[in-house]
């Protein structure tokens, strides 16, 4: 499917996916959903994580599950919401951990474009969702595509930090070469498991590792 609008670096790395049978079925399903129902994020933002963070610029990968399903929330970046939108509980816990870990105060904005532009791939496993219906686009093919996205990073890059929070994200990281990258795992930052997330110092560890690669750390504010 040559007309997929996605950053050229990812288009090249994932080109085999766009001719796969599952992709044809997925795109037909997604187009029908967008044309007849209320689906998030806006169609132009489906591949926003890829467009803001080209493959050759990835430093950190943060894996989420599926987009927020409330109006005005999802913007194509995992855990992020549009500027001016109330910060969801999981992101609030992420900000709390950053403040505790790095002794800095995060900006009061849930739009994490500022991270993506520094090389943080904010990747959801499923890239679309029906309004008010979490996991509604699960098992339609997106998981295959995002598995291949992680594989593309693993095959083409080394010295990457993978932040895998919760069992779901950890399953997505099964094929990462842990000898050539840093994989940090913890509980999910949602209120239900935040006690297994806080105090892990993932953000300082990520920046220390990037420094060892001769790279500038992420400004996590």
User: Which residues are known to be catalytic?
Assistant: 66
- DSSP string spanning 82-112? -TTSPPPHHHHHHHHHHHHHH-----S---T
Bridge pairing between strands 129-130 and 39-40: antiparallel
Other CB atoms within a 10 A radius of the CB of residue 181 amount to 18
- Three-state SS for 182? strand
* Cα-based distances in Å from 118 to 114, 122, 154, 191: 7, 11, 19, 27
Long-range contacts of 185-189 (CB under 8 A, 24+ apart): 188/90, 189/79, 189/90, 189/91, 189/93, 189/94, 189/97, 189/165
DSSP label at 43?
G
Terminal-to-terminal C-alpha distance of the chain: 38
- Three-state SS for 180? coil
Answer whether the bond into residue 6 is a cis peptide, omega within 30°: no
């Amino acid at each position: 499917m040559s007309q997929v609008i996605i950053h050229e670096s990812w288009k090249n790395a994932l080109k085999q996916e766009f001719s796969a049978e599952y992709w044809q079925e997925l795109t037909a399903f997604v187009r029908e959903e967008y044309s007849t129902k209320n689906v998030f994020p806006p169609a132009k933002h489906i591949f926003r994580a890829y467009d803001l963070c080209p493959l050759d610029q990835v430093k950190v990968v943060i894996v989420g599950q599926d987009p927020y399903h409330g109006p005005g929330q999802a913007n194509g970046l995992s855990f992020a919401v549009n500027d001016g939108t109330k910060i969801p509980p999981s992101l609030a816990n992420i900000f709390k951990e950053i403040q505790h870990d790095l002794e800095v105060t995060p900006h009061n904005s849930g739009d994490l474009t500022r991270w993506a532009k520094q090389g943080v791939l904010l990747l959801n496993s499923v890239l679309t969702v029906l309004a008010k219906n979490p996991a509604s686009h699960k098992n339609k093919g997106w998981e295959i595509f995002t598995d291949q996205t992680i594989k593309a990073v693993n095959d083409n890059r080394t010295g990457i930090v993978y932040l895998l929070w919760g069992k779901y994200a950890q399953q997505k990281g099964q094929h990462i070469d842990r000898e050539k990258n840093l994989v940090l795992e913890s509980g999910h930052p949602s209120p239900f498991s935040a006690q297994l997330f806080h105090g892990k110092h993932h953000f300082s560890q990520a920046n220390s590792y990037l420094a060892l690669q001769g790279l500038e750390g992420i400004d996590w504010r």
